[in-house]
Structure 1
């Protein structure tokens, strides 16, 4: 199946782009905006509406399939690509990628992906472009045989078709109290993220953070269903290192103390420290993991920052420098590499958290659901947006529909062949 034409459609992400460096430096929040000047190149203000650029592939049979290009919320921070520029993406797409697309056979996803998104003059294409184009190519590969994207992925990566859902992780944003109650009432598997991204939220020696963790656990008991027992997951944006110190033993001791305050709950701590480099992050996170394991703690470390590309993820997985690796899909690039990243984590006995960003779109979130199901990720982000309900609906319903479709096909096959599915 060939592509007849390429269509572009400007769009919006489901949240905002934020200048993380300015926020960490103490930018004051005024309502929904931050006051002061931005620090990270490309930002015109500290908080900017997220943008996307849709790519439509007009196929030979008249169908049009789509993918969305966008960046992560904290663009330009901790190794992420610069702030998304739709005009720049359009120029690269038309000059470099479109000719390859029009020459590609989209019936085999991995072959088309490698051909269209190969390096240009020895350099990778922008990751936002890789992300969106690969979504469209996966949709095209599924359209040709009229199957789901998960079936394409399972066939090409030689994995089993899924028969169970992937646990969902919801994030609260700044509206923490209301959104946490929503999560509990909806019995979310993993919660609440918490956006602990400032000294005000973390507190002196972590005092506010510890109180927050205890509050979430108590609220689950107060308003949750009797048998509801989620995993607690908090992203602290490096503030353990900033406030407690960077010594791996001290970091592990603090995490253990937090875990001791919520006995009976599994506890994930994301980005406890920023060690300033990939090597520093890799070496020191491995030590933190070792200390926690030696203590038999109920807490696990999740690596995010400084672990962006597939090659980075492979290093962390092989070194067991985290209990869970967040695979932040727009930072990884192609969705094929995100799938490979989940599989490399599983091969090394490390948890695979298929994540992304609140600044993504409904379309990219649905594609991510198929990646998670096909690879058996340990958890995935309920995205996009920061409103809880929208992300849970988009990702949760896509899972449900896909699994129901696969169950139906199994039952039909069993009926036609007389073999029990």
Structure 2
């Protein structure tokens, strides 16, 4: 089944982009807006609507499969590619990518994905968002050509086994939305609530706001949760504890060990408590923090995200033993071939992993993520797109359940 033509369209993502440097520098919230001028190159405002590029492949039988190019909320920081502006890439997509795609046989996925992921323009690899969307479309084309699910294609080409039940979900919620928290408790999300803390001021003096928020989650689960429901508590801190504690890692470790006790009997997962100026410093700090936590008898899971962006980065963090989990943020890895390999590498080396991404994706890229999850078996996956939780839980869960039903029917 060959690719006959390519169609492009620029559309909306499920969320927005934020200039994290400006957010931390200004911190003047005005509802969903942040007042002040952007700092990171490419941004026209500190908070602006996210945009995506749909890549539609027309196959020989006139069927059309789609992949969608998207970037993460906080683009352009901590080693990530610049803000993705689809219109800037359309000329290259037309002049170079279209000729590369047209005429290709979609019978297999992996070799084509590796090739496009390695393509360079002006001495640089293509923007991660382009590689992300193009490889999604290639996987969808191979699945169609072989009359298989995408999960089956991945398993066959990478030597994995498709799971027999849906992968656990991390329900990503707005911190101030108590009704949303109730809904994900009602739906028995395996991990919750994510609840981003992006500025040190959000934590309150001595991080008391964070502490009280964590306690309130536990209280609510005990009040309304189903008997036997025991989710893991996940909090994404975007480096704010590092901003608050500075170089005092002992104090930071004391605080986290105490927070773990506050959420008992539920297990605690902490993502990005510190964001260092460089990757090397990030690894050193995380390793020290792990050692300090172990000395205090703390068993919470430390998750690396910032500075752990690519397949190469993930391997580096794993080899250094710098965290308990890595957040495999799919758009940051470029081609989804890298995401697949990252999950399998984590599993082969005893590293926990969240097959994540960003609220700034689409329903289509979320469904591709669900297929990858079934084929590779990460510890849990992030609900996306958006931070509505309900929609992400529905999209990912239903995609996994449909896929499993299809495979069972064929068997």
Query: Does structure 2 conserve the Cα–Cα contact (< 8 Å) formed by 1:18 and 1:48?
Result: yes
Write out aligned runs for 1:24-43 (5 A): 24-43=24-43
Post-superposition Cα deviations, 1:279-333, rounded to whole Å, max 9, x if no partner, equal: 1111221222233234332311100001101000011112221111001111110
- Corresponding residue for 2:320? 319
Aligned length, in residue pairs? 410
Write out aligned runs for 1:147-162 (5 A): 147-162=148-163
How far off its partner does 1:174 sit?
Answer: 4.7
Whole-angstrom CA distance in 2 between matches of 1:339 and 1:249: 36
Whole-angstrom CA distance in 1 between matches of 2:288 and 2:408: 44
Query: Does structure 1 conserve the Cα–Cα contact (< 8 Å) formed by 2:233 and 2:263?
Result: no
Whole-angstrom CA distance in 2 between matches of 1:269 and 1:39: 28
The runs of 4+ residues in structure 1 deviating greater than 4 Å are none
Whole-angstrom CA distance in 2 between matches of 1:104 and 1:250: 57
- Corresponding residue for 1:278? 279
- Corresponding residue for 1:169? 170
Query: Does structure 2 conserve the Cα–Cα contact (< 8 Å) formed by 1:104 and 1:115?
Result: no
Post-superposition Cα deviations, 1:46-94, rounded to whole Å, max 9, x if no partner, equal: 1111111100000111111000011111111222211111112212211
SS at match of 2:118: coil
- Corresponding residue for 2:145? 144
- Corresponding residue for 1:297? 298
- Corresponding residue for 1:45? 45
Post-superposition Cα deviations, 1:237-258, rounded to whole Å, max 9, x if no partner, equal: 1111111233444332221111
The answer to which of 194-203 and 286-295 deviates more is 286-295
Post-superposition Cα deviations, 1:146-168, rounded to whole Å, max 9, x if no partner, equal: 11000000000001121122110
User: In the alignment, does 2:396 pair up with 1:404?
Assistant: no
The answer to which of 260-269 and 142-151 deviates more is 260-269
- Corresponding residue for 2:71? 71
Query: Does structure 1 conserve the Cα–Cα contact (< 8 Å) formed by 2:27 and 2:199?
Result: no
The answer to which of 339-348 and 112-121 deviates more is 112-121
SS at match of 2:124: coil
Post-superposition Cα deviations, 1:105-135, rounded to whole Å, max 9, x if no partner, equal: 2211001112333232542111000000000
Whole-angstrom CA distance in 2 between matches of 1:140 and 1:320: 37
- Corresponding residue for 2:102? 102
- Corresponding residue for 1:123? 124
Whole-angstrom CA distance in 1 between matches of 2:169 and 2:319: 25
- Corresponding residue for 1:415? none
Query: Does structure 1 conserve the Cα–Cα contact (< 8 Å) formed by 2:117 and 2:334?
Result: no
TM-score, length of structure 2 as denominator length: 0.97
Change in Cα spacing, 1:174 to 1:294, as seen in structure 2 (3 Å) is: closer
- Corresponding residue for 1:288? 289
How far off its partner does 1:103 sit?
Answer: 4.0
Query: Does structure 1 conserve the Cα–Cα contact (< 8 Å) formed by 2:14 and 2:386?
Result: yes
How far off its partner does 1:195 sit?
Answer: 1.2
Query: Does structure 1 conserve the Cα–Cα contact (< 8 Å) formed by 2:4 and 2:103?
Result: no
Q: CA RMSD, aligned part only? A: 1.4
User: In the alignment, does 2:376 pair up with 1:375?
Assistant: yes
SS at match of 1:25: helix
Whole-angstrom CA distance in 2 between matches of 1:206 and 1:311: 34
Whole-angstrom CA distance in 1 between matches of 2:97 and 2:296: 51
Whole-angstrom CA distance in 1 between matches of 2:153 and 2:360: 27
**Structure 2: gaps of 5 or more residues:** none
Whole-angstrom CA distance in 2 between matches of 1:201 and 1:27: 10
Whole-angstrom CA distance in 1 between matches of 2:91 and 2:288: 45
Whole-angstrom CA distance in 1 between matches of 2:301 and 2:197: 17
User: In the alignment, does 2:280 pair up with 1:251?
Assistant: no
**Structure 1: gaps of 5 or more residues:** 411-421
Whole-angstrom CA distance in 1 between matches of 2:114 and 2:389: 35
Whole-angstrom CA distance in 2 between matches of 1:247 and 1:156: 47
Change in Cα spacing, 1:294 to 1:156, as seen in structure 2 (3 Å) is: farther
- Corresponding residue for 1:416? none
Whole-angstrom CA distance in 2 between matches of 1:249 and 1:303: 19
Whole-angstrom CA distance in 1 between matches of 2:108 and 2:291: 42
- Corresponding residue for 1:384? 385
Post-superposition Cα deviations, 1:373-420, rounded to whole Å, max 9, x if no partner, equal: 11111110010011111111111111111122222223xxxxxxxxxx
The answer to which of 263-272 and 289-298 deviates more is 289-298
Whole-angstrom CA distance in 1 between matches of 2:175 and 2:262: 23
Post-superposition Cα deviations, 1:256-288, rounded to whole Å, max 9, x if no partner, equal: 111011221110010011121111111221222
Query: Does structure 2 conserve the Cα–Cα contact (< 8 Å) formed by 1:71 and 1:330?
Result: yes
- Corresponding residue for 1:351? 352
TM-score, length of structure 1 as denominator length: 0.94
